[in-house]
Structure 1
Amino acid sequence: MTLEEMIDDIADIVNDPGYSSEDDILPFVNRAIIKIASRVLLPDLATSEVISTVAETVVTTDEDTGEVTESLAYNHRVLLPENFMRYLYRVEPEESSRQAIRFYKSPQDFLSDCRGDIGRLVTSVSAATMLAKYLLYVGTPKEPQLIRLHFYRKPDALVDLGDTPDYLPEFAHESIIHAACHRIYERIEDGIEGQKTNTLYYEQKFEQGIAELEKFAKLHAPRPPATVVRGEFL
């Protein structure tokens, strides 16, 4: 289903002059896609990217002499890729010569087991976890190390009328329409006394679609060999 077809269907369902054009409806479509991707681990959004540990150059100036010196500050964290959305499920060294990296799903377990090693200079990262938008790791490589992260990326926004959400199976395109209609009807029926019939109807349709999509996602989920320790969940 193309973006144009989804917009036409939503406009026909809502049948409201305030939500009739591409400009009116497009934001609801893309928000619906984000909502779906935040609820279901879509197999086609599983990806991997390589990041590098870094050592920052710190410049200091002596207050008395004015002498400027430079030194390296070794980090124990690095930002996750910009396209990261959710569920970091595997961390591994990019170079085969490096040691395996123990990945903790639980930051609390990571800190409990590894706190004493954070900041220790080593040749290879030995353990890692995710905290907020960062990858935390131990120990700290003396030279930058390449690390491959496996995760689920943000879905591409639909922009042109011919665009299709090809990271979703065809049957799930209806869920985009249901989620968009739900949000639009929330606005239309806001302030109405009693049951908000259309809002509830499209919320229920969306949840039914999500249940079917979750079954599909579980059948087609990537199954790489995991290097995971305490705090694992499936």
Structure 2
Amino acid sequence: MPKENRLPRILIVDDELAIRRFLCTALDTGEFSLHQAENGHTALAAAVATMPDVILLDLGLPDMDGVEVIRRIREWSQVPIIVLSVREREDDKVAALDAGADDYLTKPFGVAELVARIRAALRRALQQVPEPIFRSGDLEVDLARRRVTVDGSESQLTPTEYELLRLLVVHAGKVLTHSQILRQIWGVSHLEQPHVLRVNISNLRRKIEMDPSRPRHILTEPGVGYRLRSDGS
């Protein structure tokens, strides 16, 4: 978690020097303190030595797979990890997110989007306990009162729909995989029943989206899961 008297530390892990230089140049705005690692073992050591606030991680490292790096870091730290990878296959994304990554961007990506994801990750890290009221656009969720309003009008959700929205709110800006959501809301017995999740997401969108066919709040990560948009993410 970043301290008030220092810049947030970003650890960039990529075996390609050109990529590390590009990211350092793109993020050299005075907003972050930047650190680098060129392989998995160096990344693990740097994660201990520098205690970064966000890790930007490539999966294709020369000494170990990035998913293994995520697993090892998750044994002792909950630092936000954003994967930056050329791997576009859905199973690669799911594997990284299930291992504990917080977000996944496919190369090439826009610098503005990357910075927005970093800022969202930093905000989540600062909120160990979610704010009582979540607001994003016309959506407001009062966690204390279990009250959901859209453009000022209260939306009546079923208990399951509310728990699903609450889970997304607690992890706003973060991609949650299908299996993560199914496990949290319905339990391990429903891990092989993704249609249950799809139906409930569809019902929830009809109640909180102005246009459910073009959702602005609950975003689909194709083949991977869902992400609740938070302001600035």
TM-score range, shorter chain: under 0.3
Which one scores higher on RCO, CA 8 angstroms, separation ≥ 6? 1
Q: TM-score, normalised by structure 1?
A: 0.22
Point out the structure with the larger strand share.
1
Q: TM-score, normalised by structure 2?
A: 0.22
